[in-house]
Structure 1
Amino acid sequence: MKGSAITAATMIVLAVTPGMAQDRSTVFGLYSTEGMGCDAGMAGKPGGPVSIEATALMIAGIECRLSSQTNVARMNAVLVDASCKFSGQNKKDRMFIQRNREGVTIVAEGLGTFILDQCPDF
């Protein structure tokens, strides 16, 4: 299911340092799905890419701070605690972020499940 969101939840956009080469052995980097671009300057905005960094996750209008990262052995994945702010509310969630062949899969009870393609290096 390359580039498709599993739920009808909002697009995920996570912050990454522009110009940073992407390491395919980690979950961190820029990601997109259909209808989203890969311009790092648009991260966190509607139509911008999904970007994952060790301490931040922004989803077009949603900002999350990530903490308590736990690597999941032999799964190319991490579990993180997320403290998110959206629709005027603060919400805490636990997220599972796993590397896949094309990008990442993100599972979060409060946001849904997403399968995203990695943006080309920039």
Structure 2
Amino acid sequence: MRENYLIKFEIINLIKADKQQKEPYTEEKIKKLIKKPNLKECGFVEHRNWVLVNYLLEAGNRLNTVLNLKVGDIDLENGMVVLTTTKNRKAQYNPISENLVKILKEYIRMYGLKKMMYKILCKAFC
């Protein structure tokens, strides 16, 4: 149209530009995130966040799914987690590593969380 090859008209749908992809964490940042805090010096929030980061990095679940995890949903003996709050509303079974089992056992024991009663992150949001 600018060069007068076409008749001018108003309706033109412009191509949408692709959204810029977020940069992933560097290996150095991930190591910093998963470094275990000193449990004698850190508070509940720092410990909870460390457990959450470890779980999210391993399991890759949606945040809403993780926020609705209950202690009773975790089978520490068999290394499995039952996800009851999922996007498609169907229960799913996720295996977890021995390392994450150790982290969760310590967290549950340390804060005296009872089976079936508490959400894993309850103390933060209740």
Same fold (TM over 0.5): no
Larger relative contact order, structure 1 or 2 (CA cutoff 8 Å, min sep 6): 1
TM-score range, shorter chain: under 0.3
The structure with more helix, counted as a fraction of residues: 2
For the pair shown, the structure with the greater C-alpha radius of gyration is: 2
The structure with more strand, counted as a fraction of residues: 1
